[in-house]
Amino acid sequence: MCCVLVCAVCAACVLMYYAPSPGCYDCCIRCLGAVPYPSLVATLLCFTGMALFCGCGHEALANTEVLAETYFARNIQDYVVLASFIKYFQYVIYGLASFFFLYCILLLAEGFYTTSAVKQTFGEFRSTRCGRCLSLTFIIVTYVLAVIWLAVFAFTAIPVFFFFNMAQTCHTINILAETTPSINQHGWICMDARQYGLLPWNAMPGKACGMTLASICKTKEFFITYDLYIAAFAGAGIALLALFMYVVATTYNYAVLRFLGRKGLRC
């Protein structure tokens, strides 16, 4: 991390004086060579993905509760389970954001101190049994997180699928409304939230049909919620990609530690 600070100072030197000294130039070259670029890219992707998932997911859940209360359920008891789930999952989002921020920082620090670029910079590589054990722990934990996040990524697709079907159904209703003179001819086209597990089967009405459904799709809440779920889904995918990159980077770093440890390079 100190090398990053040195690089920042050297970059300022370049901007201010346009002709850095040879010592500053060599320091910058060594510093750039010691940066674990896969871990750095994975950290940026993880921060971006978690920001999208947590921020957009939090707001999308709040808007979903409003839509369910306004259009799909008349009695508060019909959506109390959904409201409780949304409330608790919003708290989970706060914890996820904090955990992944700290964990990504740890993985980035581990990348700085175990990458082979450090060996090229300092001319030697000191490996301890504790260091190799720590790298192996990061591999296992990151792999488990990637598997868990894969399930989260799949779960995030459910509301996107629901709102996509709802938008397509509204589009069908609008086409039929332009081609058929009677409103009742397409009143049987409905969107049932109970089929997706959002509401219990005894919820009333639990569904929206015909022009009522089409009018819901034209509301501001629907468009915002749909876009937020898409952004949250994309954020979950970006975070998943970052975790897979971390798995590859930490595995490579551990392999380097094991290889150098067999050669007897220990402190």
- Mapped onto helix, strand or coil, the DSSP state of residue 180 is coil
Tell me, what DSSP letter sits at residue 75?
Answer: S
Number of neighbouring beta carbons within 10 Å of residue 76: 9
All residue ranges of the chain with pLDDT < 70 are 1-35, 76-79, 115-132, 180-187, 200, 206, 257, 259-267
The structure's pTM equals: 0.78
> What's residue 49's pLDDT?
93
Q: What pLDDT, on the 0 to 100 scale, is given for residue 232? A: 94
Distance between CA atoms of residues 98 and 113, nearest Å: 23
Q: What is the pLDDT of residue 6?
A: 45
pLDDT score, position 230? 94
Q: For 18, what's the count of Cα atoms within 13 Å in the CB-facing half-sphere? A: 0
Query: How far is it, in rounded angstroms, from Cα 239 to Cα 104?
Result: 11
How high is the pLDDT of residue 144?
93
Report pLDDT for 32.
63
Which one-letter DSSP state was computed for residue 205? B
Say what the alpha-carbon torsion angle 102, 106, 31, 37 is, to the nearest 10 degrees: -90
Q: In this predicted structure, what is the pLDDT of residue 31? A: 62
Distance CA 42, CA 65 (A): 34
Q: Which amino acid is at 116?
A: S
- CA 118 – CA 124 distance, rounded (Å): 8
Distance CA 43, CA 24 (A): 27
Is residue 191 within 8 A of residue 165, CB to CB? The reply is yes
What CA–CA distance (Å, rounded) separates 35 from 108?
10
